[in-house]
Amino acid sequence: MRDAAGVRRASIAGVSIEVDARLPAPVSEQLRVQIITAVQRGDLVAGTRLPAVRRLAEELSLAANTVAKVYRELERDEFVTTEGRNGTSIAPQGTGPARQAQLAAAAYASRARELGLSEQDALAIVAAALSAP
């Protein structure tokens, strides 16, 4: 979506992304920095799926190659993981136990989706497991 001033907007899992070709920074860098910032703030958490390259490119009125380049750079810097046809998602961040827990949570979320569980049911299962002795 583009406003009257030429700012292009999209949403990734409820996080607003904006690019403006009038700014000195290239739109690819604006997109990359906004995704990284959202990950670091905790707005985009491990396992969150990013839109398909073509879809995000259309929403931001960018070339698909521009978005693909950003996704490749984010993967190189370990902010996202790409799983072929399963798409691109936010990678676990940090080190040690927190990163291991994020990896386990991402695997669980993926399996819960495969099984057709609702988010509410999947979270209830985790809550029960965490409160078990």
Please state whether 32 falls in left (phi above 0), alpha (psi between -120 and 50) or beta: alpha
For 23-46, the pLDDT digits (tens) are 999 999 999 999 999 998 889 998
CA distances from 69 to 28, 46, 88 (A): 8, 21, 13
The residue extents of the domains of the chain are 1-91, 94-133
For 92, residues 6+ apart whose C-beta sits below 8 A from its C-beta are 46, 99, 102, 103, 106
What tokens appear for 91 in the block? 């990678």
In order along its 133 residues, the chain shows pLDDT tens digits of 556 567 999 999 999 999 999 999 999 999 999 999 999 888 999 889 999 999 999 999 999 999 999 999 999 988 999 988 889 999 988 767 877 887 788 888 888 888 999 999 999 999 999 998 8
Which residue stretches of 1-133 are H helix?
A: 27-41, 53-59, 64-76, 96-114, 119-131
Task: Name the CATH topology of 1-91.
Answer: Arc Repressor Mutant, subunit A (1.10.10)
Q: Judge whether 46 and 91 are in contact, CB under 8 Å.
A: yes
